[in-house]
Amino acid sequence: MPRPHWSYPLYRLMWHGLDLVFPPRCGGCGNHGSRWCDDCQSKVPLLSGTLCEKCGQPLTNDGGMCQACTANPPAFKTMRSWAAFDHPVRPALHTLKYRRNVGIGDALAVPLALFAESLSWPVDMVVPVPLGTKRRRERGYNQVALIAKPFSLLLSLDFKPNALQRIKETRTQVGLSAKDRHENVDTAFLANTQIVQNRTILIMDDVSTTGSTLSSCARALYKAGANDVYALTIARALSHHGLHQV
């Protein structure tokens, strides 16, 4: 792994200080002592076998692209996910998203950065998928940015949360079909040309189901002049893990 940005030790020091004042519980299992314990790390359901070369969906054949990507290729160059959206990753992300366990973002950034390094993508900028104004006001933070910021510091990449904005208040993707997910986020994002032009960008989200949101983000980034756009998520929802319950 490259040398972390000089500010990363200060960022970690802040979280260690908070852990001393407010003893943490693991986001995966709830046990006291750490924000992400070694036992949960050992149980992470990594995606294995042959993956779609475009979206990272596990395949049952020898390779190439999955049926969905063949029929309607997403805009990003390629996408990968660190794990399947199953225990213990699923409860950890839910505590971050719905229970204000903001510290788990920093903890999950470490294994995610190691995974990203193994991909050897030539990216130079990290952009988190933005929330809409209403949802950001309700939640008070963007859960993806809480992972993406320490992730970018670990890999010494530019972190640009303002490079992309959501210009359409979309419905939640939970429970929508693949077609409805695509229509829901179509033209929902606008990228800042001054920030993204001629850059190779890593767009990040917490969970991918069909890749519609990330593909829509990629289209906006390309329209604004980005050279290439790669996509990375913490988890990938699979059909046998409750595909439409993300």
What CATH code is carried by the domain that includes residue 19?
Answer: 3.40.50
Whether residue 228 lies inside any domain: the answer is yes
Q: How many domains does the chain have?
A: 1
Whether residue 138 lies inside any domain: the answer is yes
Whether this prediction's pTM lies above 0.75 is answered by yes
Whether residue 3 lies inside any domain: the answer is no
Quickly count: other Cβ atoms within 10 Å of residue 44's Cβ.
20
Q: Residue 169's pLDDT is what?
A: 65
How far apart CA 61 and CA 30 sit, in angstroms, is 38
Query: What's the per-residue H, E or C state across 180-202?
Result: HHHHHHCCCEEECHHHHCCCEEE
Which own/partner pairs from 239-243 qualify as long-range (CB within 8 Å, at least 24 positions apart)?
241/84, 241/85, 241/86, 241/90, 242/85, 243/209
Which tens digits make up the pLDDT trace of 48-58? 889 999 999 99
Whether residue 153 lies inside any domain: the answer is yes
Q: Residue 180's pLDDT is what?
A: 52
Asked if residues 191 and 221 have their Cβ atoms less than 8 Å apart, the reply is yes
How far apart CA 115 and CA 211 sit, in angstroms, is 19
Question: What residue ranges of the chain have pLDDT lower than 70?
Answer: 169-186, 240-246
User: Range of 102's domain?
Assistant: 8-245
Q: Residue 245's pLDDT is what?
A: 46
Whether residue 2 lies inside any domain: the answer is no
Which tens digits make up the pLDDT trace of 20-42? 788 899 999 999 999 999 999 99
Asked if residues 151 and 112 have their Cβ atoms less than 8 Å apart, the reply is yes
Q: Residue 144's pLDDT is what?
A: 97
Q: Residue 242's pLDDT is what?
A: 47
Query: 58: which 2 tokens?
Result: 């596990």
Whether residue 88 lies inside any domain: the answer is yes
Asked if residues 165 and 128 have their Cβ atoms less than 8 Å apart, the reply is no
